[in-house]
């Protein structure tokens, strides 16, 4: 379902038709709204709204504009309210140096104070940050806010700022500005890991482009999801599933997401073959964070059996219309050559094209030429090269086999092309990779097709 992770439905802009707005949200597929109380009055009105609507939950805190209103009684009230089941977070809190309605020193003091309260109650934090990024980040680090994590609401920074936010274990709130022509948000949004964002409206503010100048409302979060799906080249359902999982893990503390042995993404069924790899690529999150891909838990504790892979894939294939079956994983599928082939043979009866995603080290791993065997079952092979030469490959991919791995991968590509399989060779536009040199190398091998892929920023750090 869709979730609006930041709304102000208690505000006067909704007084005339609040119930209809909530009904429209439900009709648009919005199953939950996080309403944010940011001063004493809106804390009270948010709680009344939450008590009257099962789909509305609360985040409560004191906005930097209202920092000067902080007192002992208000602090005690906030602490008592954080004990309520439907109060999920402390926020929105932070710093606003754009308007400077409260003195900056007071803003910093009350920001620190509320981070401490969030840590004490184990609640995530909803951040308001305007023209104050360096101070916000410094205070979050100094106060140990990574322990609870949170959401950077209405994120407006660039890639470096996004990477810093994810490094603290925080998520990024994506709203209506993703549809604006001059916004930096689209450029950042396409590089976020799918485990790094939630969707929001900030209604009644920041409506999507088609409603500029009008009141925003939770139903419009679907427009945000549609735009993000378009930018990332996936389906709206994929964005919806990812954002819901990210939200539930952070705000509700849910962790009971079963491991996906097979899963549907875009128009393909993917099989999570293994988590074991012969590379330790600098950009890969395999050993550094929990691996969630568009809401799917891909954290294999043990490699699935052939029976488990076949049964899981058949379950997905029985629902919907699919264009191909892809064997992949956060590891190297050809390290399980026998099981890989047995699973492929069992699924061949579906009559769909089958693709193997590989690092191209299969011949070296298995100490024989496995390409003829692969060609019997696979229509396509996609090789991750990510470098134009052996030195760069060792630096970026950090293979167990050292420099000889690069030559083995290039040889595998040539053999794959000669076998008759469609052969795609990809590279991430990681800062250390010369993409044009890599393209020239790939295109020098007749029959290959080069794919440039976008490097995603590091996933949110584990809290």
Residue 366 burial (C-beta neighbours within 10 Å; 0-12, 13-18, 19+): middle
pLDDT of residue 290: 81
pLDDT of residue 285: 81
Which of 144-148, 289-293, 349-353, 369-373 comes out lowest in average pLDDT? 289-293
Q: What sign results for the dihedral spanned by CA atoms 396, 400, 402, 408? A: negative
Helix axes 404-419, 390-397, angle to 10 degrees: 100
Task: Look at the chain and count its residues.
Answer: 463
pLDDT, tens digit, for every residue of 312-366? 999 999 998 999 999 999 999 999 999 999 999 999 999 999 999 999 999 999 9
pLDDT of residue 46: 98
Q: Which domains does the chain have, with CATH numbers?
A: 2-251 (3.20.20.140), 262-453 (3.20.20.70)
pLDDT, tens digit, for every residue of 23-71? 999 999 999 999 999 999 999 999 999 999 999 999 999 999 999 999 9
Quick count: other Cβ atoms within 10 Å of Cβ 24? 15
In angstroms, rounded to a whole number, what is the distance separating the alpha carbons of residues 439 and 178? 31
Q: Higher-confidence residue: 287 or 110?
A: 110
Residue 367, Ramachandran bin (φ over 0: left; ψ between -120 and 50: alpha; else beta): left
pLDDT of residue 461: 63
């Amino acid at each position: 379902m869709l979730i609006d992770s930041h709304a102000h439905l208690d505000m006067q802009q909704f007084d005339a038709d609040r119930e209809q707005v909530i009904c429209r949200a439900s009709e648009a597929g919005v199953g939950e709204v996080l309403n944010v109380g940011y001063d004493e009055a809106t804390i009270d009105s948010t709680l009344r709204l939450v008590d009257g609507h099962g789909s509305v939950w609360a985040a409560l805190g004191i906005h930097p504009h209202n920092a000067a209103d902080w007192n002992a009684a208000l602090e005690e009230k906030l602490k008592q309210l954080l004990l309520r089941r439907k109060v999920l977070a402390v926020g929105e809190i932070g710093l606003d140096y754009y308007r400077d309605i409260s003195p900056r020193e007071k803003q910093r003091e009350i920001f620190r104070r509320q981070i401490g309260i969030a840590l004490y109650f184990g609640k995530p934090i909803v951040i308001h940050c305007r023209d104050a990024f360096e101070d916000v980040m410094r205070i979050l680090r100094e106060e140990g806010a990574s322990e609870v994590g949170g959401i950077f609401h209405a994120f407006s920074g660039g890639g470096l700022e996004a990477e810093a936010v994810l490094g603290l274990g925080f998520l990024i709130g994506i709203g209506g500005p993703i549809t604006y022509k001059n916004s930096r948000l689209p450029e950042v949004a396409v590089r976020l890991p799918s485990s790094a964002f939630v969707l929001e409206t900030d209604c009644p503010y920041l409506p999507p482009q088609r409603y500029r100048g009008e009141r925003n409302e939770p139903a419009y979060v679907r427009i945000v999801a549609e735009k993000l799906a378009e930018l990332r080249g996936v389906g709206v359902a994929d964005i919806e599933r990812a954002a819901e999982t990210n939200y539930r893990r952070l705000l509700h503390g849910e962790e009971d997401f079963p491991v996906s042995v097979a899963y549907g993404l875009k128009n393909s069924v993917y099989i999570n073959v293994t988590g074991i790899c012969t590379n330790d690529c600098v950009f890969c999150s395999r050993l550094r964070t929990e691996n969630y891909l568009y809401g799917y838990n891909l954290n294999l504790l043990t490699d699935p059996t052939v029976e488990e892979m076949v049964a899981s894939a058949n379950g997905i294939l029985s629902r919907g219309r699919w264009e191909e079956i892809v064997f992949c994983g956060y590891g190297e599928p050809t390290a399980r050559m026998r099981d890989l082939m047995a699973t492929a043979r069992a699924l061949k009866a579906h009559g769909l094209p089958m693709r193997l995603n590989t690092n191209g080290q299969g011949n070296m791993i298995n100490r024989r030429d496995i390409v003829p065997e692969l060609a019997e079952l696979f229509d396509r092979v996609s090789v991750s090269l990510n470098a134009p030469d052996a030195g760069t490959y060792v630096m970026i991919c950090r293979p167990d086999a050292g420099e000889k791995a690069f030559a083995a991968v290039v040889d595998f590509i040539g053999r794959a092309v000669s076998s008759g399989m469609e052969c795609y060779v990809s590279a991430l536009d990681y800062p250390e990779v010369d993409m044009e040199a890599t393209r020239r190398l790939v295109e020098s091998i007749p029959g290959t097709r080069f794919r440039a892929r976008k490097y995603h920023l590091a996933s949110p750090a584990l809290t």
